[in-house]
């Protein structure tokens, strides 16, 4: 996907070119599965919008209230989201600029899709599994029982 990112970074002019979605999460080591590429363009110029309009695929927009273009290049689905204000980002050591993880999570939650919910659950279990929670509850129960006998 790197070649696709490089291509569009050269082709499209904007204030910010931000990688988001599963690819950004993958770059952080939070997910292995990447099916497409999601890119936010902040304040793209008119020529860039014209290019996206010419390249875009017909689609049912599953992302409410957003200016959105779907492009396919080398069998990779690329979703472009247009924003008009500067967004907080992270620049990775490899030079990619990605969305803040909390913003990716917020977006995925807002879509209400099962695939996003399952991905977020899998990511959460990297940090804290259901077994970890069960152990924490058991530890608190033990503290309660000990405190009640003192």
DSSP H helical segments within the chain, as ranges? 2-11, 21-27, 46-55, 101-111, 114-127, 130-149
12-47 residue pLDDT tens: 999 999 999 999 999 999 998 888 999 999 999 999
Distance CA 9, CA 81 (A): 14
Distance CA 16, CA 107 (A): 18
Decide: residue 118, CB within 10 A, 0-12 exposed, 13-18 middle, 19+ buried.
Answer: exposed
Question: What per-residue confidence (pLDDT) applies to 76?
Answer: 95
Distance CA 140, CA 138 (A): 5
- Ranges of the chain with pLDDT below 70: 59-66, 146-150
Domain ranges of the chain: 2-110, 112-150
- The whole-model pTM stands at 0.82
Question: What per-residue confidence (pLDDT) applies to 144?
Answer: 72
Question: What per-residue confidence (pLDDT) applies to 68?
Answer: 86
For 33, list phi and psi in degrees, rounded to 5: -85, 125
Question: What per-residue confidence (pLDDT) applies to 133?
Answer: 83
**Contact in structure between 37 and 75 (CB atoms under 8 Å):** no
Chain centroid to CA 69:
16
Domain 2-110 classification at class level? alpha beta
Distance CA 69, CA 89 (A): 21
Question: What per-residue confidence (pLDDT) applies to 55?
Answer: 94
């Amino acid at each position: 996907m790197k070649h696709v990112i490089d291509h569009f970074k050269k082709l499209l002019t904007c204030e910010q070119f931000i990688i988001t979605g599963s690819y950004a999460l993958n770059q952080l080591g939070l997910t292995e599965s990447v099916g497409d590429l999601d890119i936010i363009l902040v304040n793209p110029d008119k020529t860039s919008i014209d290019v996206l309009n010419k390249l875009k695929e017909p689609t049912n927009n599953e992302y409410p209230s957003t200016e959105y273009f779907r492009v396919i290049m080398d069998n990779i689905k690329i979703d472009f989201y247009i924003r008009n204000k500067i967004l907080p980002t992270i620049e990775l050591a490899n030079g990619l600029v990605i969305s803040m993880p909390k913003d990716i999570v917020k977006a995925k939650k807002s879509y209400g899709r099962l695939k996003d919910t399952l991905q977020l659950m899998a990511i959460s279990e990297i940090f804290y599994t259901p077994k970890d929670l069960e152990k924490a509850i058991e530890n608190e129960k033990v503290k309660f029982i000990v405190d009640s006998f003192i």
